[in-house]
Homo-oligomer: A and B are copies of this chain.
């Protein structure tokens, strides 16, 4: 159940999704370097298809389903980016998609999933229970948004690109929701560049991974709420917890005010329209719970850009 993903599965994922997804650029900012006293490099996954890294793992999963699994249609649960990713990937593969989302999801994320042709089911209350009921009633093929070795392997492809573009990394800072991104990324970094540190960052009010590390088993947290909607996962995964225990050096928690401040700071300095989840790593730098080594190079994964833009220019 908790076997770890291997590098060969990540290489296979990279080959499988090649040509369908973007190879996203690295972005640097002198003013951010000055602000935080070190050298930063940003992996701009907000420019990925669907506006989020999520599509890497989800597409990898959809492409490995057999004919029967495809024929039954797929389902996932998501605060947003996995929903859009599954809708997009399923359409590309000619598969019907259902996505279960919280009623309070960012409207743009709901619209995105619908625009890619998915059936969107909005849920008040227990998202996980609603998802499991619908999956079983309709006999749909489950695509977990993060707790799946094939999804984790897809996320790992970011690590291959990161090391190809910036081979002398010192530290990698990664936002954590349910742990899919950090699991795939950390395994690649630690296997290929063991000297690098990998630090995950999650919101204090959606800290299911920190709680799971403390208890030793995957916890649930149905009341997870954060301005970083993309990080408010209601549960930690079995697979993700195993990868985090093995490969991640540290998990740090940040509060929502810092995430808002970080989002505005990074947007104003880099001109990247990042979503708050993607700014969580900078929130940790603002709070001082993570400091940059003055000599090394630190990579931050800008995980997505599906921001609620309705507040922009609000007067």
Interface residues of A (CB under 8 A from B): 46-47, 51, 108, 227, 260, 263-264, 267-268, 270-274, 276, 305-315
Contacts and interface: CB of A to CB of B under 8 A. Distances in A.
A273 B276 contact: no
Nearest to A44: B271
Nearest to A271: B305
Nearest to A108: B268
A271 B308 contact: no
B271 A46 contact: yes
B314 A268 contact: no
A150 B263 CA distance: 37
Complex copy number for this chain? 2
A313 B311 contact: yes
A51 B267 CA distance: 11
26 contacts: A46-B271, A51-B271, A260-B313, A263-B313, A264-B309, A264-B310, A267-B273, A267-B307, A267-B309, A267-B312, A268-B273, A268-B306, A268-B307, A268-B309, A270-B273, A271-B272, A271-B273, A271-B305, A272-B273, A276-B313, A308-B313, A311-B311, A311-B312, A311-B313, A311-B314, A312-B312
B47 A263 contact: no
A312 B263 contact: yes
A102 to B, nearest CB: 17
Nearest to A259: B313
Nearest to A228: B313
Nearest to A260: B313
Q: Give 7 nearest A-B pairs by CB, closest first.
A: A271-B305, A264-B309, A273-B273, A46-B271, A271-B273, A311-B314, A267-B273
A227 B46 CA distance: 26
A307 B314 CA distance: 12
Given A263-B313, A268-B306, A311-B314, 7 more contacts: A46-B271, A108-B268, A260-B313, A264-B309, A267-B312, A268-B309, A271-B274
A32 to B, nearest CB: 13
Nearest to A30: B49
A274 B268 CA distance: 10
A34 to B, nearest CB: 10
Interface core residue of A46, A108, A264, A314 (most chain B CB under 10 Å): A264
Contacts of A260: 313
Q: Which of A51, A227, A271 has the most CB of B within 10 A?
A: A271
Contacts of A268: 108, 273, 306-307, 309
